[in-house]
């Protein structure tokens, strides 16, 4: 189809301009993240596990919420409780915004971490925390998905044992896209700052929506 000359003259630049505008919107002037940006580097949140009320849940159940994913276990007396305690402070600082956030505590020790044990545990830290357990295979699959690792250490002679595990917190946006990684050396302030950005941008996946 051949357009009238005038139309072609105005349409092409218009098209070009709008494409450029759209590109500018979607390719960030980088978002001012303070945590490590993992956008595009990790797969979307996906799992099928059992929550601390005994219900089968999948990642879809958490769409619409900003998710903080952490691998740990309840027999960990030091690092896991400290991490959850810090996340509790973060939730408190977020105030009302925390309603749209969930802390998913995924057990790397499903043998001992039954839904009941997890229920008491997460409730001791924060109302936005959910305990997740499942079969060894399902836990390992989720762990591998985020290149996280865990190792059950040898029994200490009385049946008790420790579990070494990754200490990072994976942050997903409301669409379940992996966005940020918080390490133990990152301060609470960085997490609060970045969560504000994720929570105030509604449900979008990438880029800066005006």
Partner 1 sequence: MLSLIPAGLLFASALLSSGAHATQAEHIRASHAWIRLLPGTLPAGGYVTLRNDSDQPASLIGASSTAYGDVMLHQSMGQQTGMSRMMTIDHLDVPAHGQVALAPAGYHLMLEKATHPLQVGDTTKVTLHFADGSSLDTDFLARPANTVDAD
Which chain residues interact with partner 1 by CB under 8 A? 74-82, 84-86, 88-89, 117, 120-121, 123-126, 149, 153, 158, 160, 162, 164-168, 183-185
For partner 1, give the closer residue by CB, 29 or 153. Answer: 153
For partner 1, give the closer residue by CB, 59 or 110. Answer: 110
Is the CB of residue 70 less than 8 Å from the CB of residue 103? yes
Least distance in Å: CB of 36 to partner 1?
A: 11
For partner 1, give the closer residue by CB, 86 or 177. Answer: 86
For partner 1, give the closer residue by CB, 64 or 184. Answer: 184
Q: Cβ contacts of residue 176 below 8 Å, gap of 6+? A: 44, 45, 46, 59, 62, 63, 67
- Strand blocks (E) in 10-157: 36-37, 48-51, 56-58, 66-72, 101-107, 129-133, 150-152
User: Between helices 79-94 and 188-200, what is the axis angle to 10°?
Assistant: 50
Least distance in Å: CB of 22 to partner 1?
A: 37
Least distance in Å: CB of 112 to partner 1?
A: 9
Least distance in Å: CB of 163 to partner 1?
A: 9
Q: Cβ contacts of residue 90 below 8 Å, gap of 6+? A: 188, 191, 192, 195
For partner 1, give the closer residue by CB, 64 or 120. Answer: 120
Least distance in Å: CB of 32 to partner 1?
A: 24
SS3 label, residue 3? coil
Residue 199's H or E segment, with its range, is: helix 188-200
The one-character DSSP state at 168 is -
């Amino acid at each position: 189809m051949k357009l009238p000359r005038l139309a072609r003259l105005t349409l092409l630049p218009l098209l070009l301009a709008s494409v450029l505008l759209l590109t500018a919107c979607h390719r960030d002037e980088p978002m001012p993240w303070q945590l490590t940006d993992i956008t595009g580097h990790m797969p979307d949140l996906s799992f099928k596990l059992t929550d601390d009320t005994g219900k089968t849940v999948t990642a879809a159940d958490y769409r619409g919420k900003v998710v903080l994913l952490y691998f740990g276990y309840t027999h960990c007396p030091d690092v896991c409780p400290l991490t959850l305690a810090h996340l509790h402070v973060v939730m408190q600082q977020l105030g009302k915004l925390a309603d749209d956030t969930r802390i998913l505590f995924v057990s790397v020790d499903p043998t001992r971490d039954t839904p009941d044990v997890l229920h008491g545990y997460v409730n001791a830290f924060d109302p936005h925390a959910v305990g997740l357990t499942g079969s060894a295979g399902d836990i390992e699959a989720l762990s591998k998905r985020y290149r996280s690792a865990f190792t059950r250490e040898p029994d200490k002679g009385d049946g008790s044992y420790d579990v070494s595990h990754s200490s990072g917190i994976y942050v997903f946006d409301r669409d379940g896209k992996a966005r940020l990684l918080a390490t133990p050396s990152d301060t609470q302030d960085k997490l609060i700052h970045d969560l504000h950005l994720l929570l105030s941008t509604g449900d979008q996946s990438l880029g800066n929506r005006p």
